[in-house]
Amino acid sequence: MSVTPNHPADLSRRTLLRRAAAVGLLVTPAAGLLSACAGSEPSRPDDSGAAKSKDNPFGVQDGSAVKVVIFNGGLGDQWAKEDQAIFAAKHAGVTVNMSSTQKIKTEEQPKMATQPSDLVMNSGADMMDVSTLVNEGAIEPLDDLLAAPAWDSEGTVADTLLPGTVVDGTFQGKFYVVNVAYTVWGNWYNDALFTREGWTPPTTFDEFFALAPKIKAKGIAPYVHDAVHGYYPRWALMATIWKSAGKQAVIDIDNLKENAWRAEGVLPALEVWEKLVKDKLLLPGNLNHTQSQQAWLDGKAAFIQVGTWLKNEMAATIPPGFEMKISDYWGLGATDKAPKDVFAGAGEGLVVPSKAPNKAAAKEFLRAVLSKAGSAKFAELTKSLASTKGSGDAVQDTALASANELMSKAPADLIKTKFWDFYADLDKESQNASAELMAGRLTAAQFVDRMQKAADKVAKDSSITKQTRA
């Protein structure tokens, strides 16, 4: 698995899957992304030239054209067409040539060294490797976009973005990737069921354990999870570790600090999950992600933990009257060092090629995408939060509204774990250990021992390039 530094959105299930697929599609380092023309062709100037102003900060020229390529995957492309209309209202004299595809790398990478599209949504299984794009100077730094006035609100573009969005798109100290979608992870429940039964959604594991017998008395399993893919339960385990042991403890784990897995707060965070399993609070069965999600929708379990792609993924089978809501991952209570930190991050990135003919218009189109109007349309159409603050405020959808509420109260620190991006062997071991813990075949103490041993092995292996996070 390739390493993409400073990219928390790589935690998402969809990104993990497509990154794995992308590994086999990447050009070899020796060949280089721009090897066909590297060093032989100067960067093309963009065709802007209009006077710059608050409404036109990049000097987009009337009569010019901008080519926009959208990845047409799970989010569709209608949201981008809405952005096109928003852009046209302010720049009627600029032609937007928009197209959609799922073959981003196949269709767009060959153009990067000559005359690429102006704006590319780099997503899906056939995505271009961002580290390669950055290292070879194939995409444009967009720090000036962050500093530009917001499209339809006060302040700068950066001021309008949700926590972590800038960090998620920053590589080697510069901002390169505008991640338009914002994923929030947590525990999902059916609010209609909880209202009907008079149950209060728990905020701590103690509250969950107190509620669990009432749930079981109704013939419902308190919890269900994906028992096939180890990275599913790992999200919840690491979120609990972060809340219990604090940010620095997870940073130390990521940085392979000696005995980091034995830090205060780590073992208790795992012991509550061990208790959940031992108390038989899980729905039995070796269910994968969609099977476990369907079981939850069918009322067989009260809680499931996944990200905010859940509603779109299961849209066809949501029963009438089912009111999806997401709540924050549970903590341990008074001993938690970071009880309010939320697991969230931005993804689905848009990039501007360095040799794009009309970079000014591409950046201006990005201002429209990140506008209040554009982000509201995105949330309405995709039932997913956009990376702009308040995108879900006006959407009448319980799932989206609950995610929006959760993020409105989130502190600046977001739960992020990087070791699984940094080290493939540690990634694999943590998935296996997470699955074993949730299957009842591994105790919390054994989990800690196993992960510390695996981390020590990586730390001592001089052939492995070490990564560092702050």
From first to last of its 470 residues, the chain has per-residue pLDDT tens of 333 333 333 334 444 444 333 333 333 333 455 544 333 333 444 444 688 999 999 999 999 999 999 999 878 899 999 999 999 999 999 999 999 999 999 999 999 989 999 999 999 878 898 888 988 999 999 999 999 999 999 999 999 999 889 988 888 889 999 999 998 999 999 999 999 999 999 999 999 999 999 999 999 999 999 999 999 999 999 999 999 999 999 999 999 999 999 999 999 999 999 999 999 999 999 999 999 999 999 999 999 999 988 888 898 999 999 999 999 999 999 999 999 999 998 889 999 999 999 999 999 999 999 999 999 999 999 888 999 998 988 888 899 889 989 988 899 889 999 888 788 899 999 999 999 999 999 999 999 999 999 999 999 999 988 888 88
Q: How many Å apart are CA 21 and CA 127, to the nearest integer?
A: 9
The domain segmentation of the chain, as residue ranges, is 8-183+345-408, 186-343
Phi, psi of 178 (to 5 degrees): -95, 100
CB 328 within 8 A of CB 186: yes
Q: Which one of 1.10.3720.10, 3.40.190.10, 2.40.30.30, 1.10.10.10 gives the CATH number of domain 186-343?
A: 3.40.190.10
Provide the 10 A C-beta neighbour count for residue 405. Answer: 15
* Strand, helix or coil for residue 15: helix
Phi, psi of 359, rounded to the nearest 5 degrees: -65, -35
Per-residue pLDDT, 25: 30
Model confidence pLDDT, tens digit, residues 359-388: 999 999 999 999 999 999 999 998 889 999
Under the phi-then-psi rule, with left for phi > 0, alpha for psi from -120 to 50, and beta for the rest, what region is 59? left
Nearest to 438 by CA among 286, 300, 290, 327: 286
C-beta separation of 325 from 402 below 8 A: yes
Give the distance, in angstroms, between the CA of residue 204 and the centroid of all CA atoms in the same chain: 24
DSSP 49: -
**What pLDDT sits at residue 49?**
67
> 8-183+345-408 and 186-343: same fold?
yes
Alpha-carbon span 128 to 126, nearest angstrom: 7
**362 is written with which tokens?**
């591409």
- Which two structure tokens, joined as six digits, stand for 379? 């949330």
Q: pTM to 2 decimals?
A: 0.77
- Helix (H) or strand (E) holding 105, with range, is helix 104-108
Domain made up of 8-183+345-408: CATH architecture: 3-Layer(aba) Sandwich (3.40)
